[in-house]
Amino acid sequence: MLTAVTCWLFWLCCYMTYRNLLIGPKLSITEKLIIVREWGNEIKDTMDVVA
């Protein structure tokens, strides 16, 4: 029984760690504009950032 619980907890920790990576963070428009500016990309239209 202890082995099953330990394996399940290990699986849960791994799953929860990678879950956010698959979904990705929700960035605001301000955060997107900061990233675009720091990476040196030109912003032609604000719709490029929203999409």
How many other CB atoms are found less than 10 A from the CB of residue 11?
Answer: 10
The Cα 51–Cα 42 span in angstroms is: 15
Q: Which domain holds residue 7?
A: 2-50
* Mean pLDDT of the 28-48 span: 78
Residue 30 has pLDDT above 70, yes or no: yes
* Mean pLDDT of the 33-47 span: 77
The Cα 17–Cα 13 span in angstroms is: 6
Residue 51 has pLDDT above 60, yes or no: no
Residue 47 has pLDDT above 70, yes or no: no
Q: Which position has the token pair 């698959």?
A: 22
Domain count, the chain: 1
* Mean pLDDT of the 11-39 span: 81
